[in-house]
Structure 1
Amino acid sequence: MLCRMTALILTALLPPLQACSSEPDWTARKCALYAWAFADALAAQGTDGLRPAFLEANEAFIAGDCRTLPDFCAKGRSEVDLLNLLTVMTMNEGMASTFVPFTCASD
């Protein structure tokens, strides 16, 4: 019984250990997934109502391998809708909702 329980505990710990060892690969994969999600979301929603600066900030985030700190805020219904869609799409791929590069400074 003790051996079985130990085996179960070790089995449960293996996936997180593997995830830690491949973190650079996961970071690159997250960026690729975000780039795909961004392109797919734009194809689905279109660009009406999206500011050029908003689109450029997303492109810069992707071009920087998704490593730059977010420094842009979604404004207006179309941008908020795109943000919500991107958040759901990336979470469906196993990414945290905090990965999506939007932030709004609070006054």
Structure 2
Amino acid sequence: MRRFGFALALMAAQLVSDGSQAEGHSNEGLTWRAQKCLLYKRAWDAAYLAVDQQDVSEKFLSRNASFLAAGCRERVAVCPRSKAEFDMANMLTIMTMNEGMASTFVPFSCRADGD
């Protein structure tokens, strides 16, 4: 497993915290699934800002966009390949778990068929 800096993860977590307050978005009245999806979207945005964006492929971005477009309800395999993508996947798994989600919520997996 590739490693990322603890400071980078903390920075991304802080961006999520700051961003959600600044945007004024409230989770009040949302189902737990909708809350998780909103939290994941915020975490995704923060993690993306924290990595080398040139090392994040269009396929990785579009697969994640599909996951979000489905309200985080469908299993979409988002397969990290580059260092930046692995860093994002690791950060997002930790960040979502810190929000009370199971590690299985995030869409990161690579299918045996060569996704």
Corresponding position: 1:97 with 2:103: yes
* Aligned Cα root-mean-square deviation (Å): 1.5
Between the two proteins, the alignment pairs up a number of residues equal to 84
Structure 1 residue runs without a partner (length 5+): 1-23
Provide the secondary structure at the position in 2 that maps to 1:104: coil
- AA aligned opposite 1:63: A
What is the aligned partner in structure 1 of residue 60 from structure 2?
A: 54
Corresponding position: 1:25 with 2:31: yes
Higher helix share: 1
What is the aligned partner in structure 2 of residue 76 from structure 1?
A: 82
Q: Identity rate of aligned residues, in percent?
A: 45
Equivalent-residue separation in structure 1 for 2:47 and 2:41 (angstroms): 10
Superposed CA offset, 1:25-55 (max 9, x none): 1011000000010011112224121110101
Q: Report how far residue 105 of structure 1 moved.
A: 2.1
Judge which range, 39-48 or 95-104, deviates more.
39-48
Corresponding position: 1:64 with 2:70: yes
TM-score normalised per structure 2:
0.67
What is the aligned partner in structure 1 of residue 41 from structure 2?
A: 35
Question: Which consecutive segments of 4 or more residues in structure 1 shift more than 6 A?
Answer: none
Equivalent-residue separation in structure 1 for 2:67 and 2:92 (angstroms): 14
Equivalent-residue separation in structure 1 for 2:78 and 2:50 (angstroms): 22
What is the aligned partner in structure 2 of residue 8 from structure 1?
A: none
* Residue pair 2:96, 2:103 contacting (<8 A) in 1 also: yes
Equivalent-residue separation in structure 1 for 2:38 and 2:49 (angstroms): 17
TM-score normalised per structure 1:
0.72
Provide the secondary structure at the position in 2 that maps to 1:98: coil
* Residue pair 2:43, 2:95 contacting (<8 A) in 1 also: yes
Equivalent-residue separation in structure 2 for 1:87 and 1:65 (angstroms): 18
Structure 2 residue runs without a partner (length 5+): 1-29
